Amino acid sequence: MNEEYRGTNRLLLGIVLSVLTYWLFAQSLLNMAPDVQADLKITSGLLNLGVSFTGLFSGIFVVAAGGLADKFGRVRITYLGIILSIIGSFSLVISTGPFGFILGRILQGISAACIMPSTIALVKSYFHGKNRQRALSYWSIGSWGGSGLCSFFGGFIDSNFGWRYVFVISIIFSVLSFLLIWKTPESLASKRNPRTFDWIGMLFFITSILSLNILISNGSLLNFNVIGLSLFTLLLVSGFAFFKWEKNRKDKFIDFKLFNSREYLTAVLSNFFLNAMIGTLLVVNSYVQQARGLSAVKTGSLSLSYLVMVLIMIRIGEKLLQRLCPKIPMMMGSIASTLGVLLMSLTMIGKGYFLIVIVGYGLFGLGFGLYATPSADTAVSNVPSSEAGEAAGIYKMSSALGGAIGTTISASIYSYFNDYDLGALAGLFTNALFGILALACILFLLNNKK
């Protein structure tokens, strides 16, 4: 690592643009799925598979990519992620059937896995003190802000130009990001204790996480069929093999000693539970369309208050972190998000419900914005620099898996009820429970210190 180099605004802009390739562009498909299916003439099963594969492969490979970034260089792995994003987006632009569509979504997921831990590690390496907190705020704006805008952005581009143009714009952003990061000095982990990469451990880990994600994404845990039972058996066997293999190894795929830090453990656990609340978006969006008759475009506009509040509160969360301790804004964020979900659960209200949803989404975004920077700073500031990439990968994996699990649970509960009002009420109460669990982790695990 270049000890004299200090991160610049150019580097920071390049990092933010690279983060947007996943959070804004890849996630826009969630609001364009019907048009994509009609254009490519693919089945609903293949469509759902393609939609889920980006988050799935991101969650699977993010820890591996973090470890590779520590070993081979954070800048190199960031470049690799940007290149994969370009190839994946191009595959979607030219796709005429399921092969190009599925391939593009897989490459976008692996791209995100490379970019997220590598860029967080670059922030830790080249930005210091208040500059690091500022950089993490802008990183969070790219991720949280991108996820808040993706539904509206995707719908707007799709309606006016066609869904493929979303990924044309993504390619342009990726090229700009590559040029802005170009010539940044390489950032490597300490070479005093070189590690042999644990490929067998990674294979066991990928097998277990892939089995878990497929079970969660398809709801197979609720169905006692041959496929579900086979996947569950594979999950247990590969998970047991992973822990058995890792137990006595010197060079581990995941260094569980990272969790000896209460601060890092708190950041990972609370990040998991808070991201599980993303299922709120699925429940509310489905409910207002099915029970209240709103169009997809109008439904997307309801969540703009979430985007606005996230962008505003991320910098405020940064300032609170600097003046207080991370515990306070993280707790405030969990409470605000939970209150927002509980407000949106008031489905018994008539015409005023849409206004309640706007306010609820605002509180939801307010909470996520307050939480984002203090949580990320807590994670990266309490691990050794030599393991920053791996630690960042685990932190972002908690986001991906939390979102996947929360969304699937929410969908299952909502669809279980024949009455839309009861389904939305039960689904949103479940998401509020995730917020309470996040608050409990912060309250009981995190110390009051700067």
At 110, the pLDDT band (50, 70, 90 cuts) reads: very high
Residue 367 scores a pLDDT above 80? yes
What is residue 48's predicted lDDT score, i.e. its pLDDT?
64
Name the one residue in this structure whose structure tokens are 């990040």: 271
Instruction: Return the pLDDT at 148.
Output: 77
Q: Which CATH class is domain 255-445?
A: mainly alpha
pLDDT bucket at 192, cuts 50 / 70 / 90 = very low
Kindly state the average pLDDT of the residues 81-85: 96
b/e string for 104-129 if b means 16 or more Cβ within 10 A?
bbbbbbbbbbbbbbbbbbbbbbbbee
- Domain coordinates of the chain in residue numbers? 8-186, 199-252, 255-445
CB contact at 8 A, 334 and 371: yes
Residue reference for tokens 């009981």: 444
Place 317 in a pLDDT band, splitting at 50, 70 and 90. Answer: confident
Identical fold between 8-186 and 255-445: yes
Q: What are phi and psi of 286, to 5 degrees?
A: -65, -40
Say how far apart CA 275 and CA 405 lie, in whole Å.
Answer: 9
Give burial (CB, 10 Å; 0-12/13-18/19+) of 41.
Answer: exposed
Q: Which CATH architecture has domain 8-186?
A: Up-down Bundle (1.20)
Higher pLDDT, 29 or 358: 358
Q: Tell whether the model's pLDDT for residue 82 goes beyond 90.
A: yes
The mean pLDDT of 216-227, rounded to a whole number, is 59
Encode pLDDT of 4-55 as tens digits. 778 788 999 999 999 999 988 888 876 676 678 888 988 765 776 677 778 7
| Residue 222 or 142, more confident | 142
The pLDDT tens digits for 251-270 are: 777 777 788 888 899 999 99
Quote the pLDDT of residue 9: 87
Q: Alpha-carbon distance 230 to 237, whole Å?
A: 11
Predicted confidence (pLDDT) at residue 99 exceeds the cutoff of 60: yes
Tell me: the pLDDT tens digits for 390-431? 677 788 778 877 877 787 777 778 877 888 889 899 989 999
pLDDT one-digit tens code per residue, 122-157: 988 888 888 887 888 888 788 877 877 887 887 788
- Predicted confidence at residue 50, as pLDDT, reads 76
- Percent of all residues in the chain with a pLDDT value above 90, rounded to a whole number: 29
